[in-house]
Amino acid sequence: MNFADMLRGATARNHSLLCVGLDPELGRFPVAMRGNTRKIYGFCARIVDATADFVCAFKLQVACFSAYGAERQLERLIEYIRRTVPHIPVILDAKRGDIGSTAVQYAREAFERYDADAVTLSPFMGFDSIAPYLAYPDKGVFLLCRTSNPGGDDLQNQRLADIDGQPRLYEHIAHLAQGPWNRNGQLGLVVGATYPQEIARVRNIAPTLPLLIPGVGAQGGDAAAAVRAGLRDGGAIIVNSSRAILYASEGTDFAIAACKQAGRTRSVLDEAQ
Determine the Cα–Cα distance for residues 124 and 145; give it in Å rounded to an integer.
10
Q: For residue 209, what are the CA distances in angstroms to 90, 117, 204, 225? A: 18, 16, 10, 19
- Among 59, 95, 139, 260, the active-site one is 95
Please name the residues in contact with 207: beta carbons below 8 A apart, sequence gap of 6 or more. 178, 232, 234, 235
Determine the Cα–Cα distance for residues 144 and 158; give it in Å rounded to an integer.
15
Q: For residue 155, what are the CA distances in angstroms to 1, 145, 148? A: 36, 10, 13
Examine the residue annotation and report whether 95 is marked as an active-site residue of this protein: yes
Residue 175 host element (H or E): helix 169-178
| Residues marked as catalytic | 95
